[in-house]
Every structure is written in C-alpha cells, then in structure tokens.
Structure 1
C-alpha cells in the first residue's frame, strides 16, 4: 500500500459505516456530502473493493466494509482513548454529561443525582431514551449523548452493553378493584381490560416482551407511553397494567394501587447501560459510569 495513505479516509469510512448514512456522517465530520462521497470513492479505488452499495435512498455496507471496520475500529478506539486521556478529569472542573434513560431509571436516578454532594462541578442532564434504535445509535455515535440506560441491548457491535439494574415485572391495579384483590389468576388476567405500555424501542407491550411464554391477546382499553400516566389511569379505572417493581414500590401508595405477581413466567427486567466503545477508556466517561452505578444501587 502507498506509504502516503491518508488515514483520514479511514476515519470518514468508519463514520459512514457506523451511522449507515453519508448525510449523517457529513454532519458529524463537519464536511459536505460530496466531500464524504469523494473520500469514499478514493478509498475504494485505493483498496480495489466496493465498500458500500446503494439500496433505495440509502447505502448498505458490503462484506468488505464489515471486514475492514472490524479490523480498524479497535485501533481507532485506542487512538481516541489515548488522546482523551491526555486530558485530566477532575470533578471540581465543570463538566456536563448527557444521559438517556428510560422512565423507571429516570425516576430513580435524577433525585439521587440532585442530592449527591460528591458531584463537584459535574452535571448530569437526563433525557428519555429515543423511540427507535437508529436514532439512539446516531445520538451516541455523534457524541450528542454520553450513554443510554434502557431495557434490551443494541444490534451494533460498535457499542457496549452492560447490565445496570435488575428489576422485575409486576401487575398493578386499583386497591379498590371489585374483582381483583391481593392476587390474580391467569383466567382473571385475560378476563380483565388492560392499559398497555409499549416499549420505546422493541415495539412490543412490556408484558409481552418480558414474558417467557407467548401471551394471549388481551382486551386493551388504552395505550400509554408513560408508566406514571398508566398508573394514574389505573387508579381511576378497573383496568390492569404492567410495570416494573422499582416504579411500583415508589408510586403505588401515591396512586392507591395494589401490586400483584403476574400469573405467568417472566424474565427479569434488565436495565442496561449502553455507550459507544470509543468511550471505554475515557476518564470522564469511566467516572460517569461508576457514579451512575453507585447511585442506582
């Protein structure tokens, strides 16, 4: 290979590969779309292989691109980490973090962050996790967010996924429900109406996502995109709802709800911490991960 090989071409390639979009890569690199396309063309000519093919209005990586990315991502990650670690991290120096979190973890973490006296000059700003995975990956890759906390992992190998908090599924309904008191049978579960929560990224109802067996169709009285909104509606109706134990224990008394064990087998609700691998060895990011893990316990 030419000794004058421009490594910048590989940086552009990685950005396009990770984002799956020339437009988004151009924005991330502060380049024009024709500029990014020109770099990819030169790289393909030098390597003698096709890296991306057009598919509809977008692009798809070829197996050559996948192989190249697997080979060079760790090396670029080490370079980014080495450069980042030249900067010392001190909690007494102002530093702003942005964290995506699902509703149970947002409710659990934000008050604890606000009352933590060891934060120094560091600030953590919370936002709800984006609705779809593509948007989430884009935000993490563009470093518009430092990490995310959500149920379920990510499909891309460019991201880390670490168990963060183990929760469990429970059912809730009004404490004054005329037919359900203290416990619920499978027959009662399917006979009652439900207020359902659709998980933000899986496009499944929470109960269906967590249940081990395939649940039968239920009578859905309404859908919510907020667990707290669902609990407020349950307090004023005879419906059932599914939520996490951490949120139910926090708010059941406020909404005058009873907490029930589901009459079916279910997996643990595993909230996971998700971030781009390039941040693995960054001192500030390591501090953020340790701090959140400490606060969630």
Structure 2
C-alpha cells in the first residue's frame, strides 16, 4: 500500500504532549523497521515516502498521517498498535497551531485551495518543494535575525503547506528552477544534496513537473525576477511576487495574463521535464 503525506510536528505553541507523543511513535516505528531488517530508504519506498521523511518521523520531527501509521502497521506487523495511535495523532493535529507571517497568510490560504500552482524560482527552491533542513537554513540565514522560536514556527508552517501535494485530487504543480539554484550549496553539501534528491523524488509524481533553466541560456523571459502563478478552485488565476520585504498578490487580469505569457516563454526556454530530471541525476552523481 503506497501512501503519501506528513506534516511538521514541532508544535508552534510549544506543546510538550505533542512532542512526547510523536517522539514515542517515532521510536516505535524505528524499532519495528529495524526488527524487519529494513533501512529508512527501503521503508519509504514501500509506503511512498522519501528517506528524509522517514528519518524525520522517526526522530519525532514530523507528524505521521493516519494512513501512514496504518500502512506501516500492516507492513511491519505491529498488530494494530500504530493504527490505534492515529486517533491521538488527529487530536493533537487539531490543536496544533501553524503560524504564517501575517503578510503571507492571504497567499497561503489561496495556495491551500489551489488546483494549479506554477513557480519560477531564481534564488532558492520553492518553499512548497523544500526539505526541512533546507527551509531551516533559509530562515536561519535571514537578516535581521529571527529568534529560534520564530524560525521553528516558520519551518513548521512551510512544511505544513506541503500537505496539499498529498491530497486527492492533488493540485497540478509546475516549477521552473534556475540551474544555479541546484548548484548553490545552501546549508552545506549534505543539505543541498538532500534537497536535490527530494526534487528528484517529486519529479516522479504525476502531478509535479520540474524544469531547469540552464546556465547557458543566454537570455530568457524571466529576467525581471521570480514569481508564482496560482489558480484557486473556482476562481481566476492570479499571481504572487516577493522582493526583499515587499510582497504583492496580483489579481488584475491584464497583469496576470502578462505573467502567464511570460511563464509560458520561460517554460519553453527551460529544459524539458525529462531532460531536467537527467540533469538532476547528473548533479547527484557528481556529488
């Protein structure tokens, strides 16, 4: 049984109960996995998760979804014990508060109901596609400095957004990422490698298309900077952009049409999804 989906467990409100529960579940999963002679990668492959996701769950840093608990319970022969904990997990999730910065909340609400999301990224991997350690590096490096509690809250909120990639039906996601983003060692070589591996995993999902804009592209339609196009369910397409401390939700039809045309040109200038995947695999092989 393949299942996908998890959320960040660090309780932004500082719930000791949540932390204790998720650490206990993580230890149980690790013990059962090792008893069955499986690596984290092997377990992840059997239940539709990445190796990093399994590692995070076993360390108590992510909340396993009920479907995940039931699948692991069946796979590892836990006799229904993990499945019984699903109700406790749902109770804790219902109480958990995830905090986005106030200026980002309107976009986050629209993204949560989107049927299509298109990213053009020039400096970092889009937040919806980031690993936990990559996201934490970005928030830690921000200036002025953020305090540790705020960093953890924002990492939690960013990972929580990623639930939409696992819902059914999922949104259609397209991302054009500049090659320099894949080569820049944000957080160090290991963090960057994990991030690129995660992109490779996401590329294999039917509803996710990742394209790379190569370094040798002499000129392209995205020279004015990164942006996002999204289409909320039952609503017109709109755009979103951030620059330094300025953010803007774009709803004017003419401006949105211009962004959509620009995005079409960028996609046409980028490598195809299959050639982009080959480049990602090449970068991983060279690491």
Task: Give TM-score scaled by structure 2 length.
Answer: 0.29
- Quick one: higher RCO (CA 8 Å, sep 6+), 1 or 2? 1
Q: Give the structure with the higher percent strand.
A: 1
Q: Give the structure with the higher percent helix.
A: 2
